[in-house]
Amino acid sequence: MFEDQYHKDQPAVKAMAQRIAANAPQVFKTIDNFVATYGKKAADMISEGGLLAALRNIGIDATPASFEGEARDQPKGLSIKRVEAVT
């Protein structure tokens, strides 16, 4: 059976999520800044969705750092932070 290399349960994806979580919070103004820190493979993991899911599983939220364009609907960069517990 073929397993997707970018799935949230893959060891490489989980390891990258842990590496990013250890440095949270972080803000990357552009994806190029993220790639410079974590590499193209991490950006591929994000674009395929597995890394975002793996981060959520360990309590890390990754959302666009900002929005641009006329309608302010074009995501830019990445903001990584721990999800705060709601009491």
- For residues 28 and 65, give the distance between their C-alpha atoms in angstroms, rounded to a whole number: 7
User: What single DSSP character describes residue 73?
Assistant: -
Does residue 47 belong to any structural domain of this protein?
Answer: yes
Kindly report, residue by residue over 40-61, the tens digit of the pLDDT: 999 999 999 899 999 999 999 9
3-state helix, strand, coil in the chain (%, to 5): 40, 20, 40
Phi (first) and psi of residue 24, to 5 degrees: -70, 145
Please determine, for residue 87, whether its predicted confidence score (pLDDT) is greater than 60: no
Residue 2 lies in a domain: no
In a domain, 60, yes or no: yes
The owner of tokens 């993991």 is 45
Where in the sequence is the domain holding 71, given as residue range(s)? 11-82
pTM here?
0.86
**Number of compact structural domains in the chain:** 1
3: in domain: no
Residue 5: inside a domain, yes or no? Answer: no
Residues 12-26 have pLDDT tens digits of 999 999 999 999 999
